[in-house]
């Protein structure tokens, strides 16, 4: 894979999977824009990439806000030239089962994962279409396919991202723009370390044939591949990276 001359915007890039994607693409020659609501973490990530010889900058953004999308894309283009890659990765969770889920919690989760994904695509697709090229990778979850007990809003949002990905892929293919998504299984990130009990982790790993979590870099490898020209005939794919959790 070679990202020389590419400009990649990655949301939620301050830590976890997003940071691993930024590092991977930065190492492969892309100028990377690390966007996160937590600016100091994104700045630390950008510094590390630059320290390793790459080109990177950090920008504060809330993926729920259309004006933030506009500002971040404008700044990325001003600094590095036309954007060629978008990775919609920012996320969070509010667990809850279908029966007891509050509408506020449901809508909050949908907004961060699904609405933001739409906003991001609406912002960059005209730019990509005009250039006649571009690749988007949306970070969904294996729960999009199998559902998660006590994860109703999250599973619905992640399934919505798959539908959005496939619709955009159909609409944009003739303009040289590819849109794919990845469906990670349990991945060893700060979110999982902070929020998931050892008991639930053990239960999920028992359902995972490879019996371990992914490292963020293992998810980033697939995201980078789908965004790269090596995947030039891949669009509308929902690629599971789950250690066999769902087959």
Ligand X SMILES: NC(=O)c1ccc[n+]([C@@H]2O[C@H](COP(=O)([O-])OP(=O)(O)OC[C@H]3O[C@@H](n4cnc5c(N)ncnc54)[C@H](O)[C@@H]3O)[C@@H](O)[C@H]2O)c1
d(CA 89, CA 139): 5
In the shown chain, the binding pattern of residues 25 to 64 toward ligand X, with x for contact by CB under 6 A and - for none, equals: -----------xxx--x-------------------xxxx
Determine, following the binding rule CB under 6 A, whether residue 180 of this chain makes contact with ligand X.
no
Number of residue whose CB is nearest ligand X: 16
Site for ligand X in 91-110 (CB under 6 A): 91-92
If you ran DSSP here, which 8-state letter would residue 189 be given?
-
Quick one: which of 36, 27, 28 has its CA closest to 9?
36
* Residue 211 Ramachandran class (φ > 0 left, ψ -120 to 50 alpha, else beta): left
Q: Is the distance from CB of 124 to CB of 178 less than 8 angstroms?
A: no
Q: What six digits make up the tokens of 90?
A: 């920012």
In the shown chain, the binding pattern of residues 113 to 152 toward ligand X, with x for contact by CB under 6 A and - for none, equals: --------------------------x-x-----------
Separation of CA 100 from chain center: 28
Binding span for ligand X by CB under 6 A among 8-16, 99-107, 118-126, 229-237: 8-16
Nearer to ligand X, 17 or 169 (CB): 17
Determine, following the binding rule CB under 6 A, whether residue 173 of this chain makes contact with ligand X.
no
- Pairing mode of beta strands 31-36, 55-60: parallel
Q: Which residues are catalytic?
A: 154
Contact residues: ligand X, CB under 6 A: 11-12, 14-18, 36-38, 41, 61-64, 89-92, 112, 139, 141, 184, 186-187, 189-192
């Amino acid at each position: 894979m070679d990202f020389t001359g590419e400009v990649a915007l990655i949301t939620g890039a301050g830590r976890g999977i997003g940071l691993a994607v930024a590092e991977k693409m930065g190492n492969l020659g892309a100028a990377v824009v690390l966007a996160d609501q937590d600016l100091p973490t994104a700045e630390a990530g950008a510094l590390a990439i630059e320290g390793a010889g790459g080109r990177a900058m950090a920008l504060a953004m809330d993926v729920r806000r259309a004006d933030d999308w506009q500002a971040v894309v404008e700044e990325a283009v001003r600094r590095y030239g036309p954007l060629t890659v978008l990775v919609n990765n920012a996320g969070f969770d509010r667990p809850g089962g279908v029966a007891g889920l509050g509408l506020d919690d449901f809508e909050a989760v949908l907004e961060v994962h699904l609405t933001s994904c739409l906003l991001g695509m609406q912002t960059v697709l005209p730019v990509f279409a005009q250039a006649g090229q571009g690749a988007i990778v949306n970070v969904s979850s294996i729960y999009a396919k199998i559902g998660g007990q006590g994860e109703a809003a999250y599973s619905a949002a992640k399934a919505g991202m798959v539908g959005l990905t496939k619709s955009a892929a159909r609409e944009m293919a003739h303009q040289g723009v590819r849109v794919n998504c990845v469906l990670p299984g349990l991945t060893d990130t700060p979110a999982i370390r902070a929020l998931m009990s050892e008991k639930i982790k053990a239960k999920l790993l028992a359902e995972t044939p490879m019996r371990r979590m992914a490292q963020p870099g293992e998810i980033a490898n697939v995201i980078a591949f789908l965004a790269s020209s090596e995947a030039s005939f891949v669009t509308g794919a929902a690629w599971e990276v789950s250690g066999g959790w769902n087959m």
